[in-house]
Amino acid sequence: MSMNERLEKIRQEALERIAQSGGLDKLEEVRVAYLGKKGELTEVLKGMRDVAPEDRPKVGQLVNEARAIIEKRLDEARSELARAARELKIASETIDVTLPATKTPAGYPHPNTLALDEVERVFVGMGYEVVEGPEVELDYYNFEALNIPANHPAKDEQDTFYINKDIVLRTQTSPVQVRIMEKQKPPIRVIAPGRVYRADEVDATHSPCFHQIEGLVIDKGITMADLKGTLAQFAREMFGADTKVKFRPHHFPFTEPSAEMDVSCFKCGGKGCRFCKGEGWIEILGCGMVHPKVLRMSGIDPDVYSGFAFGIGLERIALLKYEIDDMRLLYENDIRFLRQF
């Protein structure tokens, strides 16, 4: 049998097998049998060494023509089989649009998220900007730049988790305020919400990981009156128009003077109840005028500018606003608890 006759036989056999395949798996078998590494056409090419040199170009051309014809017919057969399978699937499948849809369970907003959205709404409405900063913080920003040098007693109160002697998990979001003061010239009006860490035991009111919202205002002529008016308005927005506030002297290293702010109990109106432990008042946040040394370390002249700062515990707001008795409930991911909000 001549080479030409052999190639013609291979081509005819391949086309017949393609026509009779009836499935994609059979087509693949045909492709491997004729075009694969050990296929019929490949074997012909391997036998070119036995062909006379003057006949090799012609034989090579015939092999390529046979390969092209087989490949073209394989592609056509694949398309035909795929189209037939698609039409069969469309014909066999029906969709009843009257059936009720599968209901996907929806999540519920977390009390912390609700409380934070409310706090941000109030302060953004007053012209504040919401800013963020790193949770893994330099000791300098977390303590030194806030007037808490090494061996300061306040550092023991906020003993935190150290990466090394210079890097800590931040104990408050006040470092964000320092970073803002370093980068931005006054006037400054920002709040900095975020996650913070302290070495606290877990109980109904404490956690080693919780959230704070720090506020900062820096401008010319800012006084304690501005601080009191701002926070009184915040309290009324959060807890009701009849809410009253009072300020008690306190000490924070980064503010002078400093104060704790209480709000009148929004359950009993200040008369005394279980919610406020009979006192009529609820402690809500710490605040004060930014210490001149903090301003100076951040590159702001305290003889020209002044400002105030405050820190709010987000969990405390959520516990009070939604009357939750135990802070641990916020972190247990119990859908029965979250469904209430």
Predicted confidence (pLDDT) at residue 1 exceeds the cutoff of 60: no
258-300 pLDDT, tens digit each: 999 999 987 777 778 877 788 889 889 999 999 999 999 999 9
CA distance 295 to 173: 17
pTM of the model: 0.66
Higher pLDDT, 148 or 4: 148
DSSP states of 17-70 as a string? HHHH--SHHHHHHHHHHHHSTTSHHHHHHHGGGGS-GGGHHHHHHHHHHHHHHH
Residue 146: strand, helix, or coil: helix
What distance in Å separates the CA atoms of residue 44 and residue 276, rounded to the nearest whole number?
A: 96
**CB-based contact 221:230 (threshold 8 Å):** no
**Sequence letter at residue 77:** A
pLDDT digits (tens, 9 = 90+) for 312-327: 999 989 988 888 888 8
Topology classification of domain 111-338: BirA Bifunctional Protein; domain 2 (3.30.930)
Domain positions in the chain are 3-92, 111-338
Q: What Å distances lie between residue 26 and 32, 42, 246, CA to CA? A: 10, 20, 86
